[in-house]
Amino acid sequence: MTKAVSDSFPVSDNVGRMQASSTLAAMQAAEALRAEGVDVVDLGPGEPDFDTPENIKQAAIEALREGKTKYTPTAGTRALQQAIIGFYERQFGATFDKAEVMGTAGGKQAIFNAVVSLCQAGDEVLIVKPYWVTFPEIVTFAGATPVFIDTEETGFVLKAEQVERAITPRTKLIILNSPSNPSGRVIPPAEFRRIIEVLSERKVYAISDECYLRFVYPPAEVYSAATLPPELRARLCIAGSFSKTYAMTGWRMGYALAPREWVRQMLKVQGHSTSNPTSISQWAATEAFNGAQESVTTMLEEYRQRRDWLIRALCEVPGFHCVNPEGAFYAFPDVRGCLKGEVKTSGELADMLLKEEHTVVTDGAGFGAEGFIRISYATSLDRLQEGVRRITRIAERLTK
Ligand SMILES: Cc1ncc(COP(=O)(O)O)c(C=O)c1O
């Protein structure tokens, strides 16, 4: 990666090499058009279109009324830690100690803490392509080197052999993300275990980003790395999030589950940067894990219906090829069949959709997968149908 040159500000080497978020850029483009009164179909969002469930909001209101508005321990309140531990015990039969759990400002901060407390210049960090845009940037910030594993040959589902081939004596860490943003693909549990066994043999650390943990549609099954036996979790950090599951993106609540020494080091990073996650959000998150889960079930069923409709519809779009994603809320079609004439890259196709059809999709190149686009179905079925009509008009023209 080359360093961005700035004449007006003496940016540090590590931050200078970082790229601004391409997914946020798509959000801003949609916002600008909407402000002009244009009827935009926004298939860009990386966040649920549902409101935060009422019981969670009420817990926050009560916390506010009761004056729970002060600093908490950096790792979060005892109640939050207990809620996280209890959730993993009930759902996955996994036991964690308080010293292995910390609350964070979103899953993003958990990943940030985990990477910067472990990695430095000279270390290689394996990142699976296509990847969530933030992974390589955090690695770069830490001064380490991202090394990419391309998974196109296996339909974007990581295999243990691919990990084995990519490990070198400098490999310190791998970042896993299943269900994946952007592909929506899920690593089957048996394969996930084989991957961790390979890592364990080679003494490589792993972050399992489980931000979309519950977004798995039958027959695929919800799977957490927490179900692995303790010996396979010795170098594993789970990064979790309340953002997507409970439609809480703005509350900024996530958590990390890791061996106690890793947590101790992460607490130093967080303690000297942001300190505790917002106290009121912690009470909301505590209710999210302890309270009724019906709203989650309802939201997941709605996502499943949209996915089923969307994938079938995208398979009919000329020049598109789309596999069925088992999880998350994204479709990630291969659009190379449309890139033969007027438009040469997926970025140009995304630009054309925005300019000519006022439809926002995210260019796959930002996720390390040129030739693909990400379509979010965290939007109503009506808008999805309108979006696919607009995409089809452009695709028909490009494939004529
Ligand atoms: C793969 C992945 N991991 C982590 C996050 C972080 O989410 P948050 O910081 O809101 O918990 C996101 C959000 O888009 C994501 O897509």
Cα separations (Å) of 230 from 196, 205, 242?
12, 14, 24
Closest residue by Cα to atom 7, ligand 1, is: 107
Look at residue 31 in the predicted model and tell me its pLDDT. Answer: 87
Q: How far apart are CA 388 and CA 391, in angstroms?
A: 5
Whether the CB-CB separation of 292 and 277 falls below 8 Å is answered with: no
Contacts of 227 (CB under 8 A, 6+ apart): 92, 93, 94, 189
User: Could you tell me the strand order of the sheet in which 254-257 lies?
Assistant: 101-104, 254-257, 236-241, 205-209, 171-177, 124-129, 145-150
Look at residue 58 in the predicted model and tell me its pLDDT. Answer: 98
Nearest to 170 by CA among 123, 210, 217, 138: 123
pLDDT digits (tens, 9 = 90+) for 345-369: 999 999 999 999 999 999 999 999 9
Question: How many Å separate Cα 280 from the centre of its chain?
Answer: 24
pLDDT digits (tens, 9 = 90+) for 231-244: 999 999 999 999 99
C-alpha 181 to ligand 1 mean position (Å): 9
More confident residue, 46 or 320: 320
Look at residue 5 in the predicted model and tell me its pLDDT. Answer: 54
Closest residue by Cα to atom 1, ligand 1, is: 181
Look at residue 110 in the predicted model and tell me its pLDDT. Answer: 98
Look at residue 22 in the predicted model and tell me its pLDDT. Answer: 67
As a whole number, the mean pLDDT across the chain is 95
Tell me the mean pLDDT in the region 172-181. Answer: 98
Q: How far apart are CA 89 and CA 67, in angstroms?
A: 30
Own/partner pairs, 212-215, CB within 8 angstroms, 24+ separation: 212/179, 212/180, 212/181, 212/244, 212/327, 212/328, 212/329, 213/179, 213/240, 213/245, 214/245, 214/296, 214/300, 215/179, 215/244, 215/245, 215/300, 215/303, 215/327, 215/328, 215/329
Count of C-beta atoms within a 10 Å radius of residue 20: 9
Q: How far apart are CA 360 and CA 375, in angstroms?
A: 8
Look at residue 271 in the predicted model and tell me its pLDDT. Answer: 98
Query: Is pLDDT at 99 greater than 90 in this prediction?
Result: yes
Tell me the mean pLDDT in the region 67-78. Answer: 98
pLDDT digits (tens, 9 = 90+) for 3-28: 555 578 999 998 998 887 766 777 78
C-alpha 84 to ligand 1 mean position (Å): 18
Look at residue 1 in the predicted model and tell me its pLDDT. Answer: 46
pLDDT digits (tens, 9 = 90+) for 14-70: 899 888 776 677 778 888 889 999 999 999 888 888 999 999 999 999 999 999 999
DSSP of 98-147: GGGEEEESHHHHHHHHHHHTT--TT-EEEEEES--THHHHHHHHTT-EEE
pLDDT digits (tens, 9 = 90+) for 366-381: 999 999 999 999 999 9
Whether the CB-CB separation of 164 and 117 falls below 8 Å is answered with: no
Q: Which of 22, 111, 181, 208 to mutate to test the pocket of ligand 1 (most atoms within 8 A of CB)?
A: 181
Look at residue 6 in the predicted model and tell me its pLDDT. Answer: 59
Omega before residue 189 within 30° of 0, cis:
no
Tell me the mean pLDDT in the region 239-265. Answer: 98
Q: Which of 243, 248, 278, 330 to mutate to test the pocket of ligand 1 (most atoms within 8 A of CB)?
A: 243
Around ligand 1, the residues with Cβ closer than 6 Å are: 46, 106-108, 132, 177, 181, 209, 211, 241, 243, 249, 254
C-alpha 342 to ligand 1 mean position (Å): 35
Query: Is pLDDT at 287 greater than 80 in this prediction?
Result: yes
Q: How far apart are CA 212 and CA 229, in angstroms?
A: 22
Query: Is pLDDT at 72 greater than 60 in this prediction?
Result: yes
Q: Which atom of ligand 1 is nearest to the CA of 249?
A: 10
Look at residue 24 in the predicted model and tell me its pLDDT. Answer: 72
Dihedral angle computed from the Cα positions of residues 314, 317, 318 and 320, in that order, rounded to the nearest 10 degrees: -20
Look at residue 336 in the predicted model and tell me its pLDDT. Answer: 98
Look at residue 100 in the predicted model and tell me its pLDDT. Answer: 98
Q: Where are the extended beta strands (E) located within 144-282? A: 145-150, 171-177, 205-209, 236-241, 254-257
Tell me the mean pLDDT in the region 73-93. Answer: 97
